[in-house]
Structure 1
Amino acid sequence: MTRKNALVVRGGWEGHRPVQATELFLPFLRSSGYTVRIEESTDVYADAAEMAVTDLVVQCVTMSEIKPEQVAGLSAAVVAGTGFTGWHGGIADSFRASSDYLHLVGGQFATHPGKEPCQRRGGEDDNFLPHTIDITELGREHPITAGIEDFELDTEQYWVLHDELIDVLATTTHPAQPWQAWHRPVTAPAVWTRRWGAGRIVVTTPGHSLDVLENPDVRTIIERGMLWATRTASAS
């Protein structure tokens, strides 16, 4: 088996437990034939030689900052065929101030609606809502989500702003509640892919906590997404 090179980049807000969360997936990567390099900052993105031999980037960096040369290096690597994937805020809320990063990923976390105000107690579970991840028609045929049925979660439900260049494999719908400002249900992408040059990008929005990442459906989607995003022969 020809080994692939995976680069795990983690950091940012500690509330998403970037170390523990990425550690969950290291055994899968290694058993799937990847040589894994771990970096605790995005400095590596500006290393053109390292990025050129990287077949997959797994990023878990939330609410952080990135330098122009770093996002340029990441984007150039993806255009050349390096895969890019991640979950939750680690990819969809990584670098709010970088328009180039948002353009690369195709979607950005806007909010996660919370419980009715009278039910809030000041903890993170104020933002946990029961909701459904609905697999789209495309998702039912795509190798990342094929065979997975719609499933329920009770965790943060991401409201995502996005463009039309994404292929949506799963969605989630935010109901219009009396205490909220919107007046009709809003459906947001929950899992999407994006082709960027010769590269493949996969974003999975569930994943706020370790228990969500260990949900069998969420974990299967993330792991299949890693394999699908990895540099293909045509991008070598």
Structure 2
Amino acid sequence: MVRGGWEGHRPVEATELFIPFLERSGYAVRVEGSTEIYADAAELADTDLIVQCMTMSQITAEQVAGLAAAVVAGTGLTGWHGGIADSFRASSDYLHLVGGQFATHPGIQPCDRVGGEADNFLPHSIAITDLGREHPITAGIEDFDLVTEQYWVLHDDLIDVLATTTHPTREWHPWHRPVTSPAIWARHWGAGRIVVTTPGHSLDVLEHPSVRTVIERGMVWATRTASAS
């Protein structure tokens, strides 16, 4: 687990939620508080899965190159919310690796805002796609509703979109038609697998049964295996 960055996403508490699951599943968990480990090629070669929770922050060219090389060689990469979709904004190579980038989270009506994080909490749905209904990460999960940050994501078309969320038009927003963003996606990169789950702003969202199931299944699916392709 690689955690740190912006404290608002509670990187320590958030990652601690999933350590018991990993240990019960037979993983030996190592926790790193920075991205320096990404430059250690030998260590990553022995790592089957990286769970990253590193919102914003910075990464060196050597570190992102090491991360990308490890994924190409078969190391899995997964994470949630800003810990993977809003990491290292200045690194185009990192964005190329994960396939999607946080752009914004629309807010409530301006006259109702009080200056706290709840100004960006909107009721919205996570809709499982046809592909998602068949994929091992999301199979059997029904569409579900959340009241939290709704990520607007810029992305490429090399991702396998397992769930989406749609931003409606509202009179205080400048867009003129609904915009659908990927909410959960999987990605093959070389011999490696990547999973991004955009819900997860706070601990209560991570503990939502559907969100938690997706994240845990994503960890297992992304993990290097002899049959991964």
Question: What is the TM-score of this pair, normalised by structure 1?
Answer: 0.96
CA–CA distance in 2 between the matches of 1:102 and 1:234?
26
AA aligned to 2:187 is R
Contact 1:80–1:235 (CA<8 Å) still a contact in 2? no
Corresponding residue of 1:143: 136
- The SS at the match of 1:113 is coil
Deviation at 1:232, TM superposition (A): 1.6
Q: Which residue of 2 aligns with 1:93?
A: 86
2:114 aligned counterpart, secondary structure: coil
Query: Which amino acid in structure 2 is aligned with residue 202 of structure 1?
Result: V
The one-letter amino acid of 2:7's match is E
- Provide the residue aligned with 2:162 in structure 1: 169
Tell me the secondary structure at the aligned position of residue 28 of structure 2.
strand
Aligned CA RMSD, in angstroms, stands at 0.8
2:121 to 118, 128, 132: 128
**Match among 199, 202, 215 for residue 222 of structure 1:** 215
Is the aligned partner of 1:40 residue 2:27?
A: no
State the partner residue of 2:100.
Answer: 107
> Does the Cα contact within 8 Å between 1:114 and 1:129 map onto a contact in 2?
yes
Q: Alignment partner for residue 205 of structure 2, among 212, 221, 232? A: 212
Question: How many residues end up aligned between the 2 structures?
Answer: 229
CA distance in 2, matches of 1:98, 1:122: 30
- Aligned equivalents of 1:225 and 1:90: distance in 2? 15
* 2: CA distance, partners of 1:100 / 1:73: 11
Aligned to 2:30, what secondary structure does the other structure show? strand
Unpaired runs of 5+ residues, structure 2, are: none
- Deviation of 1:235 (Å): 5.3
| Paired residues for 1:6-85 under 5 Å | 8-85=1-78
SS in structure 2 at match of 1:38: coil
CA contact (8 A) 1:107 1:162 kept: yes
Structure 1 residue corresponding to 2:194, chosen from 179, 195, 201 = 201
Question: Partners of 1:149 and 1:66 in 2: how far apart?
Answer: 37
Unaligned runs of 5+ in 1: 1-7
Query: Residue 234 of structure 1: CA displacement?
Result: 3.4
Per-residue CA deviations over 1:91-132 (Å, capped at 9, x if unaligned) read 000100000000000000000000000111111000000000
The whole-number CA distance in structure 1 between the counterparts of 2:212 and 2:134 is 18
Distance in structure 1 (CA, Å) of the matches to 2:62 and 2:130:
38
Distance 1:111 1:235 in 2: 33
Distance in 1 of aligned mates of 2:74 and 2:225:
7
Letter in 2 for 1:98: S
